Structure 1
Amino acid sequence: MVAGLLFPYWRLILKQTDFNDRPRLRGNGLRYFFDDFSLDTDRRELCRGPEVIAIAPQVFDLLGYLIGNHERVVSKDDLISAIWQGRAVSDVALTTRLNAARKAIGDSGDEQRLIKTFPRKGVRFVGAVREAPTTVTVTGSPSPAAGKPSLVVLPFTNLSPDPAQDYFVDGVTESLTTDLSRMAGIFVIGRNTAFTYKGKHVDLKQVGRELGVRYMLEGSVQRAGSRMRINVQLIDAETGNHLWGERFDKQVADLFDMQDEIGARLANQLGTELVTVEAWRAARAPHADSMDLYFQGMAYRNRGTDPASLSQARTFFEQALRLDAANVEAMVGMADVDTMRAASMLIDRRAPMRVVEASLAGILAHTPNHARAHCLMGVVQIFTKRAAQGIAECERALELDRNLATAHAWIGLGKCYLGRAEETEAHIMEAFRLSPRDNKASSWLNTAGVAQSYLGADEAAARWFKRSIEVNRNIAPFVHFFLAAALAHLRRGEEARAFVQAGLILTPRFQHRPIPRKFPN
Structure 2
Amino acid sequence: MRYFFEDLSLDTDQRELRRGEEMIAIAPQVFDLLEYLIGHRERVVSKDDLINTIWQGRAVSDVALTTRLNSVRRAVGDSGDEQRVIRTFPRKGVRFIAAVRETPGPTTATPGGLPSVISGKPSLIVLPFANLSPDPEQDYFVDGVTESLTTDLSRMAGIFVIGRNTAFTFKGTYVDLKLIRGELGVRYVLQGSVQRGGSRIRINVQLIDTETGNQLWAERFDKPIADLFDMQDEIGARLANQLGTELVTVEARRAARAPCADSMDQYFQGMASVNRGSDPSNLVQARRFFEQALDLDPTNLDAMVAMAFVDTMRATSMLIDRTAPLRMVEASLDRILAKTPNHAMAHCLMGVVQIFTKRAAQGIAECERSLALDRNLATAYAWIGLGKCNLGCAEETEAYVMEAFRLSPRDNRAFSWMNTAGVAQSYLGADEAAVHWFKRSIEANRNIAPFVNFYLAAALAHLGQIEEAQAYLRAGLILAPDFSIAQFHASSPTDHLTCLAQRVRIAEGLRKAGLRPE
Matches within 5 A, 1:458-477: 458-477=431-450
Superposition deviation, residue 226 in structure 1: 1.1
Q: Which amino acid aligns with 1:196?
A: T
Question: Quick check: 2:120–2:264 contact (8 Å CA) kept in 1?
Answer: no
Partner of 2:179: 206
Contact 1:297 1:317 in 2 (8 A): yes
Say which of 320, 325, 331 aligns to 1:347.
320
User: Contact 1:412/1:427 (CA < 8 Å) preserved in 2?
Assistant: yes
Q: Secondary structure at the match of 2:139?
A: helix
Paired residue type of 1:113? R
Displacement of 1:302 in angstroms is 1.6
* AA aligned opposite 1:197: F
Cα distance in structure 2, aligned partners of 1:397 and 1:486 = 33
For residues 451 and 467 of structure 1, the distance between their equivalents in structure 2, rounded to whole angstroms, comes to 15
Structure 1 residue aligned with 2:503:
none
SS in 1 for 2:336: helix
Matched with 1:323 is 296
Q: How does 1:360-509 map to 2 (within 5 A)?
A: 360-505=333-478, 507=479, 509=481
> Which residue in the other structure is 1:239 paired with?
212
Alpha-carbon offset, residue 231 of structure 1: 0.5
Over the residues paired in the alignment, what is the CA RMSD in angstroms?
3.7
**CA 1:27–1:435: 2 relative to 1, 3 Å:** farther
C-alpha separation in 2, matches of 1:504 and 1:187: 46
CA distance in 2 between partners of 1:365 and 1:13 (Å): 23
The structural deviation recorded for 1:168 is: 0.5
1:51 to 41, 45, 61: 41
Partner of 1:64: none
User: Structure 1 residue 509: deviation in Å?
Assistant: 4.9
Structure-to-structure mapping, 1:7-26, within 5 angstroms: 12=9, 16=18, 25=22
Deviation at 1:201, TM superposition (A): 1.6
Deviations 1:164-189 (A, max 9, x none): 00010001001111110111121100
1:399 CA displacement: 0.7
**Do residues 296 (structure 1) and 266 (structure 2) align?**
no
Q: Give matches, 1:52-67, under 5 Å.
A: none
1:493 and 1:519 in contact (8 A); partners too: no
Q: CA deviation at 1:145?
A: 2.7
Amino acid at match of 2:309: D
Is the 1:176–1:264 contact (alpha carbons within 8 Å) kept by the matching residues of 2? yes
Partner residue of 2:248 out of 261, 275, 287: 275
Return the offset for 1:508. Answer: 5.7
Q: Which residue of the partner structure matches residue 224 of structure 1?
A: 197
Q: Which has the higher contact order (CA 8 A, sep 6+)?
A: 1
Alpha-carbon distance in 1 for matches of 2:371, 2:255: 30
The code of the aligned residue for 1:421 comes to A
The normalised TM-score by structure 1 is: 0.76
What's the secondary structure of 1:51's corresponding residue?
Answer: coil
CA distance in 1, matches of 2:418, 2:37: 36
Q: Secondary structure at the match of 2:156?
A: coil
1:259 aligns with 2:237: no
Q: Which of 307, 332, 342 matches 1:359?
A: 332
Aligned to 2:158: 185
Question: Partner amino acid for 1:455?
Answer: L
- Separation (CA, whole Å) in 2 of partners of 1:128 and 1:352: 37
1:112-131 matched pairs, under 5 angstroms? 112-113=90-91
Q: Distance in 2 between matches of 1:437 and 1:269?
A: 7
- When residues 28 and 404 of structure 1 are mapped into structure 2, their CA distance, relative to the original with a 3 A threshold, is farther
| Greater Cα offset, 356-365 or 203-212 | 203-212
Q: Does the Cα contact within 8 Å between 2:4 and 2:10 map onto a contact in 1? A: no
1:293 CA drift (Å): 0.5
Letter in 1 for 2:469: A
Deviation digits for residues 326-383 of structure 1, max 9, x if unmatched?
1111111111111111100011211111111111111111111111111000000000
Contact kept? 1:465, 1:483, Cα under 8 Å: yes
- When residues 407 and 128 of structure 1 are mapped into structure 2, their CA distance, relative to the original with a 3 A threshold, is closer
SS at match of 1:155: coil
Provide, for residues 188-232 of structure 1, a one-character-per-residue CA deviation record: whole Å limited to 9, x for no partner.
001111111100122223322221100110000000111111010
CA contact (8 A) 1:17 1:140 kept: no
Which letter does structure 2 place at the counterpart of 1:351? A
Note if contact 2:110-2:116 (Cα within 8 Å) is conserved in structure 1: no
1:306 to 279, 299, 319: 279
Give the counterpart of 1:169 among 123, 142, 159. 142
Q: Residues 42 and 341 of structure 2 are in contact (CA less than 8 Å); yes or no, is this contact kept in structure 1?
A: no
Pairwise CA distance, 1:128: 13
- Aligned pair count reads 438
1:379 and 1:283 map into 2 onto residues whose CA distance is 32
- Partners in 2 of 1:277 and 1:312 — Cα distance? 18
Offset, 1:299? 0.8
Corresponding position: 1:337 with 2:310: yes
Question: Does the 8 Å contact 2:370/2:377 carry over to 1?
Answer: yes
Paired residue type of 1:203: D
Q: Which residue of structure 2 aligns with residue 155 of structure 1?
A: 128
Q: TM-score, length-normalised on structure 2?
A: 0.77
